[in-house]
Structure 1
Amino acid sequence: MAEAGVSIDTSGGGRRVRFAGPLLVSALGGLRDQLGALPGSGPVTIDLAGAGAMDTAGAWLIVTLRRRLRAEGVETRVEGADAKQALLIETVEKALPTEDAAAQRPGGLVGWIGSVGEATAAAGVVAAEMTSFAGEIVAAFAATLVRPWRLRVTALVHHMQDVGLNAVPIVTLMAFLIGVVLAFMGSVQLRQFGAEVFVVDLIAITILRVLGVLMAAIIVAGRTASAYTAAIGSMKLREEIDAMRTLGLDPIEVLVLPRVLALVIMLPLLAFLANVAGLAGGALMAWIELGISPALFAARLVEASDPWNFLVGMIQAPFFAAIIGIVGCYEGMKVEKSAESLGARTSDAVVLAIFLVIVVTAAFSVFFMQVDV
Structure 2
Amino acid sequence: MLINRSRETSHPPGHPAVEQAEEAGRLVLRLSGRWTTRTIAEVDQAMNRIGDEIGSRQIVLDLKNVERMDTAGAWIIDRLVQRAKAGGVDVAVEGQTQSMDVLMAAIRDAAATKRPEKPAEQNIVLRGLESVGRAVFGARNDFLAAMNILGATIRGGQMKLGRGHGVNLAAIFSQIDKMGVGAIPVIILMSTIVGAIVAQQGAFQLRYFGADIFVVDLVGILVLRELGVLMTAIMIAGRSGSAITAEIGSMKMREEVDALTVIGLNPIGVLVFPRLVALVIALPCLTILANFAAIGGAIAITWAYSDIPPAAFVDRLRGAIDVGTIFAGLIKAPFMAMIIGIIASVEGMKVGGSAESLGLHVTASVVKSIFVVVILDGMFAIFFAQINF
Is the CA contact (8 Å cut-off) linking 2:191 and 2:290 kept in structure 1? yes
Q: 1:125 to 1:13 in 2, by over 3 A?
A: farther
Give distance in 2, aligned partners of 1:177 and 1:339.
36
Candidates 50, 55, 72, aligned match of 1:49 = 72
What is the identity, as a one-letter code, of the residue corresponding to 2:285?
L
1:233 aligns with 2:256: no
* Alpha-carbon distance, 1:341 to partner: 1.5
Is the CA contact (8 Å cut-off) linking 1:179 and 1:277 kept in structure 2? yes
Q: 1:350 to 1:104 in 2, by over 3 A?
A: farther
Q: Tell me which residue corresponds to 1:292.
A: 308
Is the CA contact (8 Å cut-off) linking 1:105 and 1:111 kept in structure 2? no
Q: Which runs of 5+ in 1 are unaligned?
A: 1-8, 22-34, 52-64
State the secondary structure of the residue aligned to 1:150. coil
Q: Tell me which residue corresponds to 2:123.
A: 107
Candidates 256, 268, 287, aligned match of 1:252 = 268
Q: 1:194 to 1:311 in 2, by over 3 A?
A: same
Q: Tell me which residue corresponds to 1:161.
A: 177
Q: Tell me which residue corresponds to 1:277.
A: 293
* Alpha-carbon distance, 1:120 to partner: 2.0
1:121 aligns with 2:137: yes
* Alpha-carbon distance, 1:280 to partner: 0.8
Q: Tell me which residue corresponds to 1:308.
A: 324
Written as runs of structure 1 = structure 2, the 5 A alignment for 1:317-336 is: 317-336=333-352
Q: Tell me which residue corresponds to 1:261.
A: 277
1:242 aligns with 2:265: no
Give distance in 2, aligned partners of 1:317 and 1:202.
21
Is the CA contact (8 Å cut-off) linking 1:140 and 1:252 kept in structure 2? no
Give distance in 1, aligned partners of 2:338 and 2:379.
16
1:215 aligns with 2:231: yes
Give distance in 2, aligned partners of 1:246 and 1:215.
41
Q: 1:216 to 1:19 in 2, by over 3 A?
A: farther
1:349 aligns with 2:365: yes
State the secondary structure of the residue aligned to 1:186. helix
Q: 1:272 to 1:107 in 2, by over 3 A?
A: same
State the secondary structure of the residue aligned to 2:183. helix
Point out the structure with max Rg over C-alpha: 2
What is the identity, as a one-letter code, of the residue corresponding to 2:294?
G
* Comparing 204-213 and 104-113, the one that deviates more: 104-113
1:365 aligns with 2:381: yes
Give distance in 2, aligned partners of 1:202 and 1:114.
46
Give distance in 2, aligned partners of 1:13 and 1:271.
88
Q: 1:39 to 1:304 in 2, by over 3 A?
A: farther
Is the CA contact (8 Å cut-off) linking 2:191 and 2:291 kept in structure 1? yes
TM-score by length of 1: 0.73
What is the identity, as a one-letter code, of the residue corresponding to 2:72?
A
Candidates 186, 190, 194, aligned match of 1:174 = 190
Give distance in 1, aligned partners of 2:382 and 2:152.
29
Give distance in 1, aligned partners of 2:258 and 2:214.
59
Candidates 208, 213, 218, aligned match of 1:192 = 208
- Computed over aligned residues only, the root mean square deviation of the Cα atoms, in angstroms, reads 3.8
Is the CA contact (8 Å cut-off) linking 1:180 and 1:282 kept in structure 2? yes
What is the identity, as a one-letter code, of the residue corresponding to 1:343?
G
Give distance in 2, aligned partners of 1:99 and 1:369.
59
* Comparing 251-260 and 127-136, the one that deviates more: 127-136
Candidates 199, 202, 212, aligned match of 2:218 = 202
Give distance in 1, aligned partners of 2:259 and 2:203.
60
* Comparing 107-116 and 299-308, the one that deviates more: 107-116
Q: Which runs of 5+ in 2 are unaligned?
A: 1-17, 21-26, 30-34, 39-47, 60-69, 89-98
Give the total of aligned pairs.
311
Give distance in 1, aligned partners of 2:121 and 2:370.
32
What is the identity, as a one-letter code, of the residue corresponding to 1:315?
I
Give distance in 1, aligned partners of 2:310 and 2:217.
14
Is the CA contact (8 Å cut-off) linking 2:142 and 2:346 kept in structure 1? no
TM-score by length of 2: 0.71
Could you report, residue by residue, the CA deviation over 1:94-143 in whole angstroms, capped at 9, with x for unpaired residues?
Answer: 9xx9874xx64523333222322222222222222222222122223589
Q: 1:249 to 1:369 in 2, by over 3 A?
A: same
Give distance in 2, aligned partners of 1:98 and 1:200.
70
Identity of aligned residues (%): 40
Give distance in 1, aligned partners of 2:271 and 2:148.
17
Q: 1:99 to 1:333 in 2, by over 3 A?
A: farther
Could you report, residue by residue, the CA deviation over 1:305-334 in whole angstroms, capped at 9, with x for unpaired residues?
Answer: 122111010011011111111111111111
Q: 1:199 to 1:127 in 2, by over 3 A?
A: same
State the secondary structure of the residue aligned to 1:106. coil
